[in-house]
Amino acid sequence: MKSDFTEADFRARLTELGLTLDAKAFAAAWAGAQHLRGEVAKVQTYLTKPE
């Protein structure tokens, strides 16, 4: 997945899943998605430099 994963990308992925969220639910899901992208970055950093 491209590193600059955007809100529009996320919306498109949810549409592919057939998932429509109201504004509040989307905001919460997007916050979680960003957190998860942060976890992806942590794994990439770890693999670049394993302890």
Nearest to 2 by CA among 50, 27, 12: 12
Residue 6 is a binding residue for another protein (CB under 8 A): no
Q: Are 33 and 8 in contact (CB under 8 A)?
A: no
Residue 23 is a binding residue for another protein (CB under 8 A): no
Helix (H, G, I), strand (E, B) or coil at 21: coil
Element (H, E) at 39: helix 23-48
Residue 43 is a binding residue for another protein (CB under 8 A): yes
CB of 3 to another protein, least distance (A): 11
Residues at the contact surface with another protein, assessed by CB under 8 A? 1, 5, 10, 13-14, 16-21, 24-25, 27-29, 31-40, 42-44, 46-47, 50-51
